[in-house]
Chains A and B, each alone.
Chain A
Amino acid sequence: MILTKLTMNDFRQFKGVQQVDFASQMGQGGKNVTVIFGQNGRGKTGLFRAIVFALYGERRLSQDEEVEQQELYLVNSGAIEDKKKEGKSVHAYVELDFRHKEEQFTIKRSLLAISDKHERLEQLGPVTLSHTKSDGNTMTFNDPEEIQRIVNNILDKNVKEYFLFDGEKIQRLTMASIEQRKEVAKGIKNLLNVDALEKAIKALQKLRKSLNTEVGRRATGEYKRVVYQQNQLDEKRNALKARLSEIEEEHSHLSVEKKKTDKLLEEYQDILHLVKERNDLETQLKLQKEHAAHLLSEMKARTAKSSQLLISSTIDYVFNVIDQKKQRGEIPSEVRKDLIERILDIDHKCICERPVLPGTPEQSALLRWKNKVADIELEDSALEIWRSLSGLRSSRDDISGLVETLLQGYAVCRNDIEKLLKKIEDVNDQIGASERKDTADLEKIRKNIEEKQIKIEAERITIKKELETIEADYASLSTQRKNLEKEENLKNELARRASLAEETYEAVEQVYKEFTDEIKDRIAQEANKYFAQLLDKEGRETLKRILVNSDYSLQMIDWLGKPTLANIGAGQRQVMSISFIAALAKVASMDSILEMPLFMDTPFGRLSYEHRKNLLRYLPSYCAQWILLATDTEFRKQEASLLRDGGRWGKFYVLLSKGPGVTVIQERDIEHAQAMLSDAMEEN
């Protein structure tokens, strides 16, 4: 695809009909570079947007991620305002002319916009594609799906960002997610024709299966058994291959997860000691809380008994009263009562031999005494209470001591808990609110990932061994089958067809393996050649080579032989991506120049002057067409001079502001470009 002309009508800043003719001379020394120069806000990205919209109907670019759909307008606001006065709608369009393999294409997409006081509406209009073949015949297409299929066959949507890109975003190609990588790999396979090979393999596999099933159905005896076994093995082989590809996918997911976890762990390295301290404190806190809970439960268990402590003084008082009576001999009094009765009724004399006769004062005193101690039951009760209180007093002292110990222990424990909580709060403050992720959890996650990796690796090894055995068994059955065919003169047409399908399937699979390995090596070789030319001195001192992975993702290897993609700067990533794109284009076109444009929107922002210089010097010869959208800060007298000296610069356009939201595209003479560009204040 070589872009020849872009025409826009009321699209973005470009009010009315405006046009850019691209330099598009192919071949050695042909003018193939177009520079569109404009200060920020003049509509460079509007042009980029116009190309992507025309080819794919996409309203949004990758840099629009954070812009709301309803805030993204493609139709020129001034044109809408003009039509609003007349109560009419605006019919905007983008028309892109390009050629591909010496055939001409024109794609035109329209937009309809209308606005009233409150809202503005935009909707996609029709799309047409006219295709003029080399014999001069023109075909016109109106079906959007058909048009998309044709455009994708020329430049697959999945790799469009390799050829049409925003300079700031090109580096993203080196750090795409697994899903993005898959999409990109799909696009690259399309570009390299690998997808056709894969499709052919699948079709041959299907053909082989159906023919073998048919042969198995019609065969007899030993031959039938061999064919049956082959079919069984084939089924098993396919299932194992499918599982193997699932494992590969799982493996790459796990690798990405592991990398992410490692990155997070690395980020938390500086707070690792604090997190460990917090973990220790939290363990201590847990133990203290358990201890406090134990003390509380001990106290609860003694609640019934310890209630006596509340009436401790009453117990002492009652005990003392009875005890004193006991001490005084008033309780128990049974012995004295017997003695009194014997003195009064039998002996009539005291133990001291003093007579106690009726009517005497001694008898009266003894009778009074006898009446006073007459209630024996009361005495028994008093003595029982005394005994109980005595026991209670003894256990009360024990309980009192224990409860006091428990209360003291609990108070100490609560105090420790408070201290620990305070310490944890302090550590958390040091860790910072934004980084509360627990590294311990991350370590666990990492360990889980590693365990899963080991598990699937073991499964992969087992499956591979199993596949090897199946392949060997299958080959041996194939030999047996051929021998049987010879012996039994089984040269029927069906058997021959099945045999041919089998051999062809194996041949295409072998060719596929050789081809994809070769192509990846060649892309890597070419990318490294370009990279060495484009890289600045600083980069050459640290970076050694680009590695192309099996899924066409990229890795950078440093001089120590270690992967270092994660550590390289944005400018180096851009140069790496450009080298890969150029290599891809070269390999896809088999060492000539792939008929693809390189459309770069402000690519020099993050590049060192040496990088810029190298790009300006070499890129025009790497690609079939280079369209460069540049700002005044990245395209100055020096850059223009370098580009002009290369002899490939064919067109120069300037974007000029004509009032708010309106830009006019003006073509300028390259020879006079210097006069309007600024001087570099920096390196040369």
Chain B
Amino acid sequence: MSDIGDLIRQKLENYPPDVAELAIAAIQSSESGMPESSIADYLENVVRQIVRKRGVVDE
């Protein structure tokens, strides 16, 4: 139910943007029916991208 998903996303807005971004990626990939092991692999890439992006911003 996408509406319920919105409620979860709304709650995640209270967290730092990179945390919310990774959490939403985790939830979306879980909703997509992707297997659990593939989700963890996918999230490794997401977390790398977020940190790199953040690193660039920091610097």
Contact = CB atoms under 8 A, between A and B. Distances in A.
Given A493-B51, A508-B26, A203 B36 contact: yes
A218 to B, nearest CB: 15
Contacts of B43: 203-204, 207, 501
Interface in A424-444: none
Contacts of B33: 149, 153
Interface in A213-272: none
Nearest to B54: A496
B16 A496 contact: no
A507 B31 contact: no
A485 to B, nearest CB: 13
A486 B34 CA distance: 37
A192 B4 contact: yes
Nearest to B39: A203
Contacts of B40: 203, 206-207, 210
Contacts of B4: 192-193, 588, 590
Interface residues of B, number: 35
Chain A contact residues: helix, strand, loop or mixed? helix
A211 B51 CA distance: 13
Contact of B8 (A497, A515, A588, A592): A515
A497 B51 contact: yes
A203 B3 contact: no
B32 to A, nearest CB: 9
A503 B7 CA distance: 20
B47 A196 contact: no
A511 interface: yes
Interface string A628-659: 00000000000000000000000000000000
A365 to B, nearest CB: 134
A199 B40 CA distance: 10
B18 A589 contact: no
A588 B7 CA distance: 11
A202 interface: yes
Interface string A488-503: 0000010011001101
Contacts of B48: 493, 497
Nearest to B43: A207
A500 B30 contact: no
Given A200-B27, A497-B51, A511-B11, A207 B36 contact: no
B47 A500 contact: yes
A133 to B, nearest CB: 16
A515 B27 CA distance: 14
Contact of A493 (B30, B44, B52): B52
Given A197-B8, A511-B8, A589 B30 contact: no
A65 interface: no
Given A203-B29, A203-B39, A501 B47 contact: yes
Interface in A586-601: 588-590, 592
Nearest to A493: B51
Contacts of A153: 33
B7 A590 contact: yes
Contact of B51 (A203, A496, A515, A588): A496
Nearest to B4: A193
Contacts of B15: 503, 507
B35 to A, nearest CB: 10
B44 to A, nearest CB: 6
A210 B37 CA distance: 12
A264 B31 CA distance: 45
A514 B44 contact: no
A481 B48 CA distance: 20
B20 to A, nearest CB: 8
B1 interface: yes
A511 to B, nearest CB: 5
A191 interface: yes
A206 B30 CA distance: 14
B7 A203 contact: no
A550 B8 CA distance: 19
Interface string B35-59: 0110110011001101110110000
Contacts of B7: 515, 590
Nearest to A494: B51
Contact of B23 (A202, A206, A504): A504
A200 B46 CA distance: 14
Contacts of B1: 191-193, 588-590
Contact of B5 (A193, A211, A503): A193
A197 B22 contact: no
Contacts of A197: 8, 27, 30
Contact of B3 (A195, A200, A501, A590): A590
A196 B25 CA distance: 11
B3 to A, nearest CB: 4
Nearest to A205: B40
B47 A193 contact: no
A83 B47 CA distance: 65
A329 to B, nearest CB: 120
A622 to B, nearest CB: 17
Nearest to B30: A199
Given A196-B31, A589-B3, A503 B54 contact: no
A203 B7 CA distance: 20
Given A193-B4, A200-B29, A504-B26, 7 more contacts: A193-B5, A193-B31, A197-B27, A197-B30, A508-B27, A588-B1, A590-B3
22 contacts: A149-B33, A191-B1, A193-B1, A195-B30, A196-B5, A197-B8, A200-B27, A202-B36, A203-B40, A204-B26, A207-B43, A211-B47, A493-B52, A496-B54, A500-B47, A500-B51, A503-B15, A504-B26, A511-B11, A588-B1, A590-B4, A592-B3
Name the 10 nearest CB pairs between A and B, nearest first: A199-B30, A590-B3, A200-B26, A203-B39, A206-B40, A196-B30, A504-B22, A193-B4, A200-B30, A196-B31
Interface of A: 149, 153, 191-193, 195-197, 199-200, 202-204, 206-207, 210-211, 493, 496-497, 500-501, 503-504, 507-508, 511, 514-515, 588-590, 592
